[in-house]
Each structure stands twice: as C-alpha cells, then as structure tokens.
Structure 1
C-alpha cells in the first residue's frame, strides 16, 4: 500500500471513529426519552434521563463531538422523527419544552469546554476530576439549559420567568443527582482507561 493510500485510510478511519461517538450519544438521547417520563405537577415539562445523557456526552466527548451529538438529536426531531419525550418531534421544538431541548446544545458545549482535562493519576486526581466535572455540569448542564428552558417557556406561555422557574424547582434536585452521578461515572471511566 502506498504512503498516500495509507494516509487516506488512516484519515478515513479517524473520521469514522470521530463520527461514531456523536451518533451513539444521539441514539442514547432518544433512548433516554423512550425509557419514559415522569410528569411534574405545575409544569408541562416532564422529567426524563435526557439531561443525564447530555451531561455524560459533555464529559466523555470533545465539545465538538458533544455538540454534534445534540445537534444530530435535535435535527432528527426537527425532521419529524419521534425522538423527544412522549414520542414528540417537530412540534416539541415549538412547545413548552422547546427551550430545554434547544438549551441542550449550548449546555453540552459549555460543559465540555469547562470540564478541563481529566486526571487518572490516583484517587486524588480522580476526585479532583469528578469535582471539576460536577462544577462544569452545574454550569452547562443545569444553569445554561435551565436559562434557555425558563426563557422559552415564559415567552411561549406568557407566564412570568420567575413563576416558571419556581414551578420548575422540582427538576433541580433530580438534575443535581444526575450531575453528581454523571461526574463520578465519567471520572471513574477515565481512570479505567
């Protein structure tokens, strides 16, 4: 095999492996909604495992790959595939959950950019990585996503922002738990590599 052919084969293999992870996480996002939802009284947005998958994507992938995974997921829903909670698709991007769904994209990118480089040099390095991952998920995976979600929901429903935020507080505890589990899992997986 010539040097050019070998270089081309290496590039193709690299591109293919780089594309597999975003596609896998996009499928996991769909699976997280297909697994079911838990309604919260007072808000039209259900609890799903989507935010957990978004957090894991951000912690396990580069910001480009994580952003591509979420963009692919949103594009599938926008194209009419029933990938959103309750089997929703295009109309979900125009309803009360729209801001949360759209917020996944900047949220996953912010989280991935803030996570920093993971350390697997012993228990102390893993613990520091988990703490840094947790902080990144709180900023990107919770604060950014919630900001978009509350803002869009308030604009769409005409309900004041603070009322939407107060009604949605039932999500906070769950998302804090998801952030902790995602951070510990990602830091632990890093150590296993």
Structure 2
C-alpha cells in the first residue's frame, strides 16, 4: 500500500521543477513584454530576449511549453501582452497586428531550442538567428493584413531588427558565461 501511495508523490515531485520553470518563464516573458517602447502597429519589446534565453536554457520542449503557456494565459484574458489591456486582451489582442509575431515566437521557441542543443556559442547564436527568422516569417505576412503591403517592412521589420540582434547577442554572451552542463537543461 505504501508503494502505491509513493508513486503519485514521486510523479508530483518530478513535475514540480518543469512547472515552476514554465511559471517563471511566463513571468519573464510578461515582464519583457511590458518593458517596451510604444509604437504602432507593433510595440518594441524584449520578447526576443526572453524567448531566446528560455529556448537556450531549457531546450525545445520546455521552451515551447513555456511560450504556449504564455499564449494560453494571454488568450484567457490576463494582460500579459505588451500594451494590454489598452490595445485589448485575450484572443482579440492575439488576432491583432502582433498575432503573427506571437505565433512566430512559439515556433521560434522550438526551432531555437532544437538547433541550439549541444552547441557552443556560435551554434547557439546561429540557432537564435534561425529562430528570429521564423518569427519574422510568421509576423510580417500577418502584419500585412493590417497595414499596406508597401509599409510592412518599414513598420514590422526595420525598426526592430537591430534591437533583436542586440538581444540575441546579449543572450549569446550570457549563455557563454553559464557552464555548458546547464545550457539546455535548466528546466529539466
């Protein structure tokens, strides 16, 4: 009887760390969304910093789960997104001009995490560049639904790319300072 009771508690203990990581990750992404320079139609945020750091630190599964949880919390109506609740909340916000970038970050969490696994600084940096490419590949066409096609790059890429590259450089530098045995395993 005691061995039957210990199985659920052992399983519960193995879930505590990943769940705590996801919750902390959602808090970090939310904080990075709230630290922003207001601009229209897409605010300048630190999303890239948070998404890439989580993907490098946790690996693809936990990074993707973390960003999915962030989207779920936002879809439920909590004001986790940049400029929310002012620009709307929940699914209404997600269907707006930044919706494609949010989906892109979800995909980038996976792509970056997969490509960065077992890599050193240059490989992790290339993985993050692939991740931000995925983000823009999803975000720009979506943005084109809201702004004239000729202005998509001027409003959704040009103002952001330098900041995103700086964020990637900061994550790469920070990850280089962390012992290799922890990279990709912090959430496990």
- Higher-helix-fraction structure: 1
Could you say which residue in structure 2 is the equivalent of 1:19? Answer: 19
Matches of 2:108 and 2:57, distance apart in 1: 14
Determine if contact 2:59/2:117 at 8 Å carries over to the other structure. Answer: no
RMSD, aligned α-carbons: 2.0
The residue matched to 1:85 in structure 2 has which SS? Answer: coil
Matches of 2:97 and 2:173, distance apart in 1: 31
- The number of aligned residues is 177
Matches of 1:63 and 1:191, distance apart in 2: 17
Matches of 1:192 and 1:137, distance apart in 2: 19
Q: Does 1:114 align with 2:105?
A: no
Shift of 1:175: 0.6
Structure 2 length as normaliser, TM-score?
Answer: 0.85
The gaps in structure 2 that reach 5 residues or longer are 183-188
Matches of 1:65 and 1:75, distance apart in 2: 15
Shift of 1:74: 0.6
Q: Does 1:53 align with 2:23?
A: no
Structure 1 length as normaliser, TM-score?
Answer: 0.83
Q: Does 1:135 align with 2:126?
A: yes
Matches of 2:146 and 2:110, distance apart in 1: 25
Could you say which residue in structure 1 is the equivalent of 2:178? Answer: 189
